[in-house]
Amino acid sequence: MNSKIIVIFILLLSFLSSNNSYSASTFSLKNLSEQGLKIYNEKMGSYPVMDTAKFEADAEEKFQLYKEGDEVTLDYKRNVAKGKFYSFDGQYIKIGSSNVPVIDVDSMTLSKFSKEENKKLRVQMVKLCKETYNIKRMEFREKLIEELIFQYPAINDVEISRLFKSIASQDDRAKYTEAFKSLYESSLPLKVKVVREDFIKQLCEDFLNKNPGLAIDDGVFILKAEKEAMEKKAKELEEKRVARLSERLLSPRAATPYFDPDGGIFVPSKPLKIMCATEDAEIHYTFDGSEPDEASPVYKEPINMPNAARVKAKAFHVEFNDSDTAETGPWAGGLYASYFEWMTFRGKTIEKVDSCLNFDWGAKAPNAGLPADYISMLWAGQLLPKTTETYTIYVTCDDGARVWLGDRLLIDAWKEQAPTDYEATIPLEAGKKYDIKVALTEVGGLVCIKLQWSNPKLAKQIIPQDCFMPEGKYVNELKAWNKFEMRNGVADYINRTKQKNPGSYMDNYKLPISGGQQRWDKMGIK
């Protein structure tokens, strides 16, 4: 081994030492089911342990050290010294009758005579062997987790919560949740050609057959008795409504309710008042976007609202027809949203302002007028922290998502997947505006997106509406992308052939999906 090889050896060692970030796994064990985690532990437990003693023996054999009295031949500066090795004093090597200056000897040769130099090379070689072992072990680990996640994916808490959210009793909800988890685990592994959404669908059918006390309502489980009671109550309410209409055919409507505050800047400490000009009218309201009826909550006093929400209200009176529905909110703030017809942030586009990112649409279309599958969404705006802290940003998504903060891609979860959690930490300053953009693509089945944060003084929560503003460079970028005009008698999005796709990162906006390019071609999505 000559001096050039030594230099390469040391540079390689330096490179490996500076790249310890490889140890941060791309895949998370929390996305494995109990079975998958058990298999993972077994296979990682059987992986060969690091043999430091062998590394040290190999280093000793690779870098041999002469002992005093050994017969040696030393080539140096066009001369050759032969004979017994007597001594090394740091400046000269005594061989036979020759005193060879250290300055005339290359570093590799010198290590055969100098204990200190020899030890350095051995230590470096052992360190390199350890680094190589760790890299190979990490590569094995990454490949193992990737394989296991496909066959033994964990059932996500978001998915479970959605399936059983309509069961009112906490005890019943806990009982059925645990039973479903058990059935899920016993039904693994997923078969190679089985789509995960189809697996969950079949699992729900099997679970329903095993639990005759349950029913399905709007894609979630509900107690059959509760569903029947709800249907009965809804029927009674409808019958009453029809009867009122016939009785009060010529009667006027009750006055439409009104709100204070009605829009403007959302202030959590300011209660929401709902009023009606019709005396003795009973006001019913909803926060979930549904139409209020007589089964909805009754307004009795100003409502303390911790978060901005879309509120609907309707007035009912014994002598008048039902009022028109009044609506207020969301208040100022939120993110500028674009919902796209295709998975490539193209096609027909619906624009709106969303108060925050806390959506679980299940298998439904996220927006009326768009399909439920093979679609994409973008949210843009500015993030305004209220305190200076190191924040953890969390995103839960199904399928692929990306989160940009400023010019940095903060979270890259760009793959086809069940609802999965990701997180990243970043320091943020109070009052400073940070441009933010969130991309989401949906292949098929369920679709959800949730954007949360926490810091040492703030528990994990949905990032609230009053910490967003629908403005900034990403909003301008998105509005330009969505510009729709008539050109030569044809209406089209005029910038999409010349502007960079706002959902792309490093010019990649196509989500990696099972089936690859062949499946993309089959879908025919541009």
Q: Can you spell out the DSSP letters for 336-351?
A: EEEEESSTTS-SSEEE
Indicate whether 145 and 167 sit together in one domain: no
Indicate whether 399 and 288 sit together in one domain: no
Q: What is the structure's pLDDT at 399?
A: 87
Indicate whether 364 and 454 sit together in one domain: yes
Task: Report whether pLDDT(18) > 70.
Answer: no
Question: Is 366 inside a domain boundary?
Answer: yes
Share of the chain above pLDDT 90, in %: 51
pLDDT band, very low/low/confident/very high, at 194 (cuts 50, 70, 90): low
Last-in-domain residue among 151, 179, 199: 151
Question: Is 429 inside a domain boundary?
Answer: yes
Tell me the sheet residues that pair with 98.
95
Last-in-domain residue among 180, 209, 224: 224
Q: What is the structure's pLDDT at 177?
A: 92
Domain at 460, CATH number: 2.60.120.380
Question: Is 138 inside a domain boundary?
Answer: yes
Q: Which of 109, 214, 129, 128 has the alpha carbon at shortest distance from 168?
A: 214
Indicate whether 170 and 59 sit together in one domain: no
Q: Which residue has the higher pLDDT, 262 or 302?
A: 302
Task: Answer for the pair 120, 407: CB distance below 8 angstroms, yes or no.
Answer: no
Task: Report whether pLDDT(26) > 60.
Answer: no
| Of the candidate ranges 187-196, 205-214, 351-360, the one whose mean pLDDT is the lowest | 187-196
Domain at 317, CATH number: 2.60.40
Indicate whether 60 and 203 sit together in one domain: no
**H-only helix segments in 312-420:** none
| Of the candidate ranges 5-14, 28-37, 181-190, 472-481, the one whose mean pLDDT is the lowest | 5-14
Task: Answer for the pair 33, 184: CB distance below 8 angstroms, yes or no.
Answer: yes
Report the alpha-carbon distance of residue 191 to residue 201 in Å, rounded.
15
Indicate whether 220 and 362 sit together in one domain: no
| Of the candidate ranges 2-11, 224-233, 235-244, 433-442, the one whose mean pLDDT is the lowest | 2-11
Number of domains in the chain: 4
Indicate whether 377 and 289 sit together in one domain: no
- State the average pLDDT over residues 73-100: 91
- State the average pLDDT over residues 153-160: 79
Q: Could you tell me the pTM of the whole model?
A: 0.49
Q: Is the peptide bond before 330 cis (omega within 30 degrees of 0)?
A: yes
Report the alpha-carbon distance of residue 485 to residue 14 in Å, rounded.
57
Indicate whether 517 and 394 sit together in one domain: yes
Indicate whether 19 and 119 sit together in one domain: yes
Domain that holds residue 298: 248-328
- Tell me the pLDDT tens digit for each residue of 299-338: 999 998 877 778 999 999 988 888 989 988 767 788 999 9
Q: What is the structure's pLDDT at 522?
A: 72
Q: What is the structure's pLDDT at 19?
A: 38
Q: Which of 296, 329, 302, 516 has the alpha carbon at shortest distance from 415?
A: 516
- State the average pLDDT over residues 271-291: 91
Question: Is 466 inside a domain boundary?
Answer: yes
Q: What is the structure's pLDDT at 27?
A: 56
Q: What is the structure's pLDDT at 25?
A: 42
Question: Is 278 inside a domain boundary?
Answer: yes
The radius of gyration of the chain from alpha carbons, rounded to an integer in Å, stands at 34
Q: What is the structure's pLDDT at 292?
A: 92
Q: What is the structure's pLDDT at 1?
A: 40
Question: Is 317 inside a domain boundary?
Answer: yes
Indicate whether 379 and 273 sit together in one domain: no
Question: Is 474 inside a domain boundary?
Answer: yes
- Tell me the pLDDT tens digit for each residue of 112-139: 999 999 999 999 999 999 999 999 999 9
Task: Answer for the pair 296, 285: CB distance below 8 angstroms, yes or no.
Answer: yes
Last-in-domain residue among 307, 328, 349: 328
Report the alpha-carbon distance of residue 142 to residue 284 in Å, rounded.
54
pLDDT band, very low/low/confident/very high, at 235 (cuts 50, 70, 90): confident
Q: What is the structure's pLDDT at 192?
A: 67
Indicate whether 262 and 127 sit together in one domain: no
Q: What is the structure's pLDDT at 265?
A: 67
Unique residue bearing structure tokens 């529905």:
325
pLDDT band, very low/low/confident/very high, at 283 (cuts 50, 70, 90): very high
Average pLDDT, the chain: 86
DSSP state of 255: P
Structure tokens at 148: 């296991």
Question: Is 340 inside a domain boundary?
Answer: no
Indicate whether 377 and 518 sit together in one domain: yes
